[in-house]
Structure 1
Amino acid sequence: MTTALRVLDPAIWDDWYGKLLLAFGGVPEAPEEIALWRELTECERSIGMWDGEDLVGTAGLFSFRMTVPGGASVAAAGVTMVSVQPTHRRRGVLRSMMRRQLDDIRAAGEPLAVLTASEPDIYGRFGYGIATQNAYAEIDTDRVRLSVPDGTDAVTLREVAPADGAAACEAVYARLVPTRPGMLERLPGWERLPVLDPPGEREGASPLRCVLAESDGEVTGYARFAVKADWDLAGPKGMVLLRDLDALDPASCAALWRFLFEIDLTSVIRTEGRPVDDPWQHLVSDIRRCQVRLKDRLHVRLVEVGAALEARAYTAPLDVVLEVTDPFCPWNEGRWRLTGDAKGASCARTSDAPDLRLGVRELGAAYLGGVSLDALAGAGRVREAREGALEAASAAFLSTRAPWLPHGF
């Protein structure tokens, strides 16, 4: 096989994207969805693998900024649109594209790479660790009650067309981005993604709807949802399909959830990916009837170990020597002294004896503070070289708020 990697020519974007869709089963997308991804694609950061005249692999990067523990916004390359044609599996196509991407990300000075995976076992060998999970639920609103905090009744609700409410929703979202690790700043154009609503993909549900929560004349939260009507001999049993719910305060959050619980002719709320520490779980009377389940979401890769570890803060004072293995990006291998606290950190190479031994994949898993180093050590993936180092480092790496990726890319 004679292959060549080339930067994506915008003139062939349709063919490139068509190959991506073919690799994912060949199901066509709605024209408005294709148009949005065409607009968002950074062609200069996207590549194709060619075998002669045949395009056999695709991969792209988005230029994101992501919140890390401590609230800093850090450059993170969003790996996206990765595919290999079935005719060219197990021939090194994916490995070649991953190699090119990580070299390009490093050259661009981005300390982190992030992705969501179609299958969770694909990217670990390239140094990506599963750093966040999303919670999914089906809440039985016939049997589950809500207990709301003081002030909920003072919140007013107003339904608007999703497009009309988009600016207000984005303002709320932007205020929340610095408060939770894993959240992405939305660059121009990305505000269209949450309101994308192709009729052919509704599967019998209503068009997307939007309700704004307001306090003292200010928009303090929003919910975007659809309703899927259903009936049987006993009566209505419709479902509320919740896409997004964000709020700036507990009362606004509770008011929005109460609204969803009380939508006429429905008996279930189905949530899409929510934070694992989402407050609604502490408002409900019976969590067992909410059928909560978890799924991996954001995979994180430290491209530059020193810069990445310096970019975040730590919940407790920390002074630890990490011995890192990284065969795919050998510039990261070796010993690093990490010192830091809630105000910031420094990380530099050292010849001192190691306190912990771990791979870059484990650092990626623990980086956003949602996976503990102690748990990874229990699986044999982090090894303690100095007694007491694991407990101290594990406590310092954790985030007080669970990391969360609100939307895919």
Structure 2
Amino acid sequence: MTEHIRTLTTADEINAGFRVFLRAMVGLPFRDVDAVEVTDPGRYLGALDGTEVVGGADSYGSWLAVPGGARVPHAAVTHVGVLPTHRRRGIVSRLIARQLEDIAARGEVVASLRASEAVIYERFGYGVASSVRSARVNLRRAKLRPEVPAGGRVRLLDRAVTTEALAGIADRAAWPGAIGRPAGWWRLQEILRAADPVTHYVVVHSTEGVDDGYAVYRPLDTGGWFASQEKTVTVTDFVALTDSARAGLWRHLLSLDLVDVIAFESLPLDDPLPLAVVDRRAVELGPERDETWLRLVDVEAALRERAWGEEDAVALRVSDPLLESNNGTFEVGPKSVARTNSAPHLSADVATLAAAYLGGTRWRHLAAAGRVAVHDPDALRRADALFATPSAPFSGTVF
């Protein structure tokens, strides 16, 4: 193997790494983007064959909201790819292993990513911690129930003030799975919208003068818009911090003139929209798909930060072949988390723990799939109660 891995430091190297990512993804369009503007300094790892960048793995410094509302230091992993000419050489494995070491050295407790392929990341300790689905709302049939909250004020934003206003709202998200959106992420959204000839509409909701939600949407197939029998608007970003904001944004979207269908790209699995309309069949839900692939980089810190249900403690043995410090048995209870020398009630690898960590997957289902060694049969019940959350985890951010 002649490839060596190091941090990409110059603008030319970072842009070369970004071009590798675009080529590796095949289906992504090439755009005139200066990657330095949309990445965090010092976080882009590259695999170099001589002086040529042939692979890369990048991340943003961020936060992740965990059950109970705490925010833990988080690495949003992205731009992972290898040139087609250099596949099957173990480059991705070496990049991800090195990246995990770097993330741990930064003191970041967790990492997450969006996977282009579903069979790559579990072997690096990532587990599916949240899932989403799309939805299509037929406006000819959709009518909000009379008891749905009225919502507050909704206003359209000019493009010039969009990012600052939206970032101020998104940064207050507190539901399990929400992540902090860094400056580079917002800059990329600006570039993508500017390059799109179709207008993006941005509406902000406020309750008693305080902004608490927004939606970004755009029309599809505008060339044949007025002759179309199914004029569709797709919602690309929907953030609601309160029930009032959610209801107010629904009312705006479902009352748009000259529109037949509102398509939501990504909703939580337990989103209340189908419950809010008189004709539930007016909301067509898409299939469930994985969203957050989560990696616990510091298991003990991650367990200490989240809130727990009221149940007797469970001793959980965790195995992690890549980060030795995570190996051990942890007693998890509603009042404390601590390493223990006691015999474990359950044993699982770090990817399985990640799948359960935000409350999106039950321990009894993981055990039924053979992913948990059960040493105490009652421990599955207790673990499900301890890890349970009031709502399904959801990020809502693609990176």
TM-score by length of 1: 0.89
1:326/1:189 Cα in 2 relative to 1: closer, same or farther (>3 Å)? Answer: closer
SS, match of residue 355 in structure 2: helix
Correspondence for 2:332 among 322, 326, 338: 338
May I ask how many residue pairs the two structures share in their alignment? 395
Correspondence for 2:204 among 208, 212, 216: 212
Contact 1:236 1:266 (C-alpha < 8 Å) held by counterparts? no
Contact 1:162 1:195 (C-alpha < 8 Å) held by counterparts? no
Correspondence for 1:135 among 130, 133, 136: 133
Q: Deviations over 1:207-239 (max 9, x none)?
A: 111122233333333222112345587x65311
1:285 aligns with 2:278: yes
5 Å-filtered alignment, 1:21-32, equals: 21-25=22-26, 27-31=28-32
Which residue of 1 is the match for residue 376 of structure 2?
386
**How large is the RMSD of aligned CA atoms in angstroms?**
2.3
Which residue of 1 is the match for residue 17 of structure 2?
16
Correspondence for 1:368 among 331, 352, 358: 358
Q: AA paired with 1:72?
A: A
Identity, % of aligned positions: 36
Correspondence for 1:404 among 379, 383, 394: 394
Contact 1:163 1:195 (C-alpha < 8 Å) held by counterparts? no
Correspondence for 2:247 among 248, 254, 270: 254
1:171 aligns with 2:164: no
Shift of 1:193: 4.7
SS, match of residue 132 in structure 2: strand
Correspondence for 2:66 among 65, 68, 79: 68
Shift of 1:70: 0.8
1:90/1:304 Cα in 2 relative to 1: closer, same or farther (>3 Å)? Answer: same
Q: Deviations over 1:251-300 (max 9, x none)?
A: 33222212211211211111111222223222123444422122111111
| Structure 2, unpaired ranges of 5+ | none
TM-score by length of 2: 0.91
Which residue of 2 is the match for residue 243 of structure 1?
236
Shift of 1:130: 0.5
Q: Deviations over 1:276-326 (max 9, x none)?
A: 222322212344442212211111111222121112111223411112222
Which residue of 2 is the match for residue 347 of structure 1?
338
Q: AA paired with 1:65?
A: W
Q: Deviations over 1:21-53 (max 9, x none)?
A: 11122754333xx23x42231241221112233
1:161/1:373 Cα in 2 relative to 1: closer, same or farther (>3 Å)? Answer: same
Which residue of 1 is the match for residue 260 of structure 2?
267
Q: AA paired with 2:299?
A: V
1:5 aligns with 2:5: yes
Moved more, 123-132 or 368-377: 368-377
Q: Distance in 2 between matches of 1:76 and 1:156?
A: 34
1:231/1:105 Cα in 2 relative to 1: closer, same or farther (>3 Å)? Answer: closer
1:231/1:9 Cα in 2 relative to 1: closer, same or farther (>3 Å)? Answer: closer
5 Å-filtered alignment, 1:218-233, equals: 218-228=210-220, 229=222, 230=224
Contact 2:65 2:177 (C-alpha < 8 Å) held by counterparts? yes
Contact 1:323 1:354 (C-alpha < 8 Å) held by counterparts? yes
Contact 1:356 1:384 (C-alpha < 8 Å) held by counterparts? yes
1:77/1:197 Cα in 2 relative to 1: closer, same or farther (>3 Å)? Answer: closer
Correspondence for 1:160 among 146, 153, 157: 157
Correspondence for 1:185 among 180, 201, 225: 180
1:200/1:287 Cα in 2 relative to 1: closer, same or farther (>3 Å)? Answer: farther
1:223/1:148 Cα in 2 relative to 1: closer, same or farther (>3 Å)? Answer: farther
Shift of 1:90: 1.8
Correspondence for 2:300 among 303, 306, 321: 306
Contact 2:201 2:218 (C-alpha < 8 Å) held by counterparts? yes
| Structure 1, unpaired ranges of 5+ | none
